[in-house]
């Protein structure tokens, strides 16, 4: 499908934020609904079938998402990631992907998904210009996987998703696994084993205190360092260099069979290199995963604000950004600062 490119915006990078961090990434949540109920994100008790999710008219439409993306790119963003909720629940997604892929200066267009609907869409997404895929998979054990999807997912569906992504030509995939002590941590070696020699990279993510309803407890967090030791005892590991803005600590298996990553957001926070902005499906801009409020860009768009004015607003918001929740977690939690936006509203 062809789209007429809007008039090019002037490219003026946003000023660095209050801690000197430059805006380079935008995560776009496309929908707040999900076909899973992972206990660490959208526990079933808090999100029953009659939960009031956003109505279609409350969500940004594709034209609005594209406009906002263009404004962010004009301010220096080079990486876009589509997420949710479950982004594949958004109808006609390949159309949006092709519109975003057509924006000059977007160097990386990626998507994070639980994979269930991927066999239906992988080929179309690839053809539309999607560069990379991350697929979430918390366990290689069918029972534990089912439990961690809130009783909604089957391991075979994720296997089919991975095969579909490979067939569509996505090459190296990132496989995200949230590790919870006593729930799925005993299966970490099995996950590494499953992806050794495939070229895909499993990334173990520390269970985070996102949102307000996941019942987070510090003793459920398995420090990434502990996992490096456990995995290294079976397959010796060698640390790979880390870029300043990377969230993941990378290690290669010394036998050459692959690489694993660790996102140690709780025990080794990386706020100093956090260059990401986040947009919710209803058009709110969040400057941190743990923010309690967002800035309403949809209201500005729907009030007829120009792209230049929108860009100036976003640049102003970014320049005042001082977020570093993960570095201040203990202090802020002790002070009772527990009001965070839910993860499924702004993506991971």
The interface partner of residue 214, options being ligand SF4, ligand SAM, none and the CB cut-off 5 to 8 Å by kind, is ligand SAM
Q: Which is nearer to ligand SAM, 40 or 325 (CB)?
A: 40
Q: Which two tokens stand for residue 57?
A: 């008219």
Considering only residues 103 through 122, tell me which ones interact with ligand SAM, judged by CB under 6 A: 112-114
Considering only residues 202 through 261, tell me which ones interact with ligand SAM, judged by CB under 6 A: 205, 207-208, 210, 214
Residue 252 CB neighbour total at 10 angstroms: 17
Q: Is 41 an interacting residue with respect to ligand SF4 (CB under 6 A)?
A: yes
Q: Is 260 exposed, middle or buried (0-12, 13-18, 19+ CB in 10 A)?
A: buried
Using CB under 6 A, count the residues that bind ligand SAM: 21
Considering only residues 266 through 305, tell me which ones interact with ligand SF4, judged by CB under 6 A: 269-271, 274, 288-290
Q: Which is nearer to ligand SAM, 39 or 76 (CB)?
A: 39
Q: Which is nearer to ligand SAM, 83 or 98 (CB)?
A: 83
Question: Which residue shows structure tokens 């809007």?
Answer: 6
SS3 325: helix
Q: Which two tokens stand for residue 264?
A: 């140690």
Q: Is 311 an interacting residue with respect to ligand SF4 (CB under 6 A)?
A: no
Residues 6+ apart with CB under 8 A from 7: none
Q: Is 227 left (phi over 0), alpha (psi -120 to 50) or beta?
A: alpha
Using CB under 6 A, count the residues that bind ligand SF4: 23
User: Could you give the CA distance from residue 111 to residue 118 in angstroms, rounded to a whole number?
Assistant: 11
User: Could you give the CA distance from residue 204 to residue 201 in angstroms, rounded to a whole number?
Assistant: 10
Residue 214 CB neighbour total at 10 angstroms: 21
Residue 104 CB neighbour total at 10 angstroms: 10
Q: Is 261 an interacting residue with respect to ligand SF4 (CB under 6 A)?
A: no
Q: Which of 72, 207, 216, 344 binds ligand SF4 (CB under 6 A)?
A: 344
Q: Is 326 an interacting residue with respect to ligand SF4 (CB under 6 A)?
A: yes
Give me the least distance between CB of 2 and ligand SAM, in Å please.
Answer: 29
User: Could you give the CA distance from residue 144 to residue 302 in angstroms, rounded to a whole number?
Assistant: 45
Give me the least distance between CB of 301 and ligand SF4, in Å please.
Answer: 24
Q: Which is nearer to ligand SAM, 114 or 287 (CB)?
A: 114
Q: Is 177 exposed, middle or buried (0-12, 13-18, 19+ CB in 10 A)?
A: buried
Q: Is 82 an interacting residue with respect to ligand SAM (CB under 6 A)?
A: no
Residues 6+ apart with CB under 8 A from 207: 40, 178, 179, 180, 181, 216, 220, 221, 222, 266
The interface partner of residue 326, options being ligand SAM, ligand SF4, none and the CB cut-off 5 to 8 Å by kind, is ligand SF4
Question: Which residue shows structure tokens 């290690």?
Answer: 251
* Window of 61-69, 192-200, 253-261, 340-348 that interacts with ligand SAM by CB under 6 A: 340-348
The interface partner of residue 47, options being ligand SAM, ligand SF4, none and the CB cut-off 5 to 8 Å by kind, is none
Q: Is 40 an interacting residue with respect to ligand SAM (CB under 6 A)?
A: yes
Q: Which is nearer to ligand SF4, 89 or 189 (CB)?
A: 89
Sign of the C-alpha dihedral computed for residues 55, 61, 62 and 65 taken in this order: negative
Interface residue list for ligand SF4 (CB under 6 A): 34, 36-38, 41-42, 84-86, 114, 136, 269-271, 274, 288-290, 323-326, 344
**Binding stretches for ligand SAM (CB under 6 A):** 34, 40-41, 83-84, 86, 112-114, 136, 176, 178, 205, 207-208, 210, 214, 343-344, 347-348
């Amino acid at each position: 499908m062809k789209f007429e490119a809007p008039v090019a915006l002037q490219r003026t990078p946003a000023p660095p934020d209050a801690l000197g961090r430059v805006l380079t990434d935008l995560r776009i949540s496309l929908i707040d609904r999900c076909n899973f109920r992972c206990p660490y994100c959208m526990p079933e008790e808090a999100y029953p079938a009659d939960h009031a999710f956003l109505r279609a008219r409350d969500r940004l439409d594709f034209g609005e998402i594209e406009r906002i993306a263009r404004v962010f790119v004009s301010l220096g963003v080079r990486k876009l990631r589509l997420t949710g909720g479950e982004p594949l629940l958004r109808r006609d997604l390949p159309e949006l992907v092709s519109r975003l892929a057509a924006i000059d200066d977007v160097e990386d267009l990626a998507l994070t998904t639980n994979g269930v609907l991927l066999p239906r869409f992988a080929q179309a997404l690839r053809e539309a210009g999607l560069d990379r895929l991350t697929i979430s998979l918390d366990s290689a054990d069918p029972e534990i996987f089912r439990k961690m999807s809130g009783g909604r997912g089957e391991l075979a569906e994720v296997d089919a998703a991975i095969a579909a992504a490979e067939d569509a030509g996505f090459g190296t995939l990132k496989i995200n696994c949230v590790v919870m002590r006593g729930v799925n941590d005993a299966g970490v070696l099995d996950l590494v084993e499953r992806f050794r020699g495939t070229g895909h990279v499993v990334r173990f993510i520390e269970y985070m205190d996102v949102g307000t309803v996941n019942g987070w407890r510090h003793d459920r967090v398995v420090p990434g360092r502990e996992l490096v030791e456990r995995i290294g005892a079976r397959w010796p590991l060698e640390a790979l260099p880390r870029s300043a803005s990377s969230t993941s600590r990378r290690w290669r298996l010394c036998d050459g069979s692959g690489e694993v990553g660790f996102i140690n957001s709780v025990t080794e926070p990386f706020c100093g290199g956090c260059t990401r902005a986040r947009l919710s499906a209803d058009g709110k801009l969040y400057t941190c995963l743990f923010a309690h409020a967002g800035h309403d860009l949809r209201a500005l768009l729907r009030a007829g604000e120009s792209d230049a004015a929108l860009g100036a607003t976003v640049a102003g918001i970014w320049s005042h950004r001082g977020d570093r929740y993960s570095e201040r977690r203990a202090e802020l939690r002790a002070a009772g600062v527990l009001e965070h936006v839910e993860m499924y509203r702004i993506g991971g």
